[in-house]
Amino acid sequence: MKEKGILTVVSGFSGSGKGTIMKGLLEKYQDYALSISCTTRNPRCGEEHGKEYFFVSQEEFEKMIDKEDLIEYANYVGNYYGTPKSYVEEQLESGKDVILEIEMVGAIKVKEKFPDTLLLFITPPSVSELKKRLIGRGTETKEVIEDRIKRAAEEAAIMDKYDYLIVNDDLEDAIEEVHSIIKNERRRCFRNQDFIEKIKEELKGDF
């Protein structure tokens, strides 16, 4: 029997480099499946259905909510975003480790629903480094950067709810850390109940 995969939620401040880490992880290792979210927002130039997002109508999305087809969902600025349950469950059953890259409120919801979820938080080594990275992009206005810092402050308040903190100081190290944490997670006792029960039974058999 194939071992079931681990469900991992990865979050992090805007500017933490979590997207780059995920990209590197998926390129380097074949063990992972990245969950693709559904959204009702319009595709941006270059975005493909089934790649960046599944683009669906509001009616379709609300039907998914009613049928409990979503692990979590939220509404931002008038658009729905959500994680389809079926894809995640299929991948986990097939033994793949599934990664959801979602924001913190969604992450906490997933953990409440599936307590076995592993929560990883990616952070730059310091706030000054975070600011440097946000400014360094050169693509954002001062207002957008200030908004992101403000949002980071809100997010920092619930960082404690995560299982692990990955300090993204060096990209390769961060990729290896994420990989190693997820691999080790398979050795957690609560994920090996079948094995433990088997050992107990066999040892009992002797007397």
Site residues (vs a copy of itself, CB under 8 A): 121, 123, 126-128, 146, 149-150, 152-153, 156-157, 159-167, 177, 180-181, 183-184, 187-190, 192-193, 195-196, 199-200, 202-204, 206-207
Minimum distance, C-beta of residue 129 to a copy of itself, in the bound complex (Å): 11
Q: What is the DSSP secondary-structure string of 32-67?
A: EEE--EEE-SPPPTT--BTTTEEE--HHHHHHHHHT
Give me the least distance between CB of 186 and a copy of itself, in Å please: 10
Q: Give the nearer residue to a copy of itself in terms of CB position, either 11 or 40.
A: 11
- The CA-to-CA distance between both ends of the chain, in Å, stands at 29
Minimum Å gap between C-beta 83 and a copy of itself is: 22
In terms of CB distance, is 30 or 128 closer to a copy of itself?
128
Phi, psi of 115 (to 5 degrees): -60, -15
The tokens of 110 are what? 């997933």
Minimum gap (Å) between residue 176 Cβ and a copy of itself: 10
**Is the CB of 11 or the CB of 37 nearer to a copy of itself?**
11
* Shorter beta-carbon distance to a copy of itself: residue 49 or 198: 198
Residue 70, CA distances (Å) to 89, 108, 170, 183 in order: 11, 15, 34, 26
- Least Å from the CB of residue 62 to a copy of itself: 35
Separation CA 73–CA 37 (nearest Å): 9
Closest CA relative to residue 10, chosen from 175, 170, 189: 175
Name the residue nearer to a copy of itself (CB basis): 23 or 188: 188
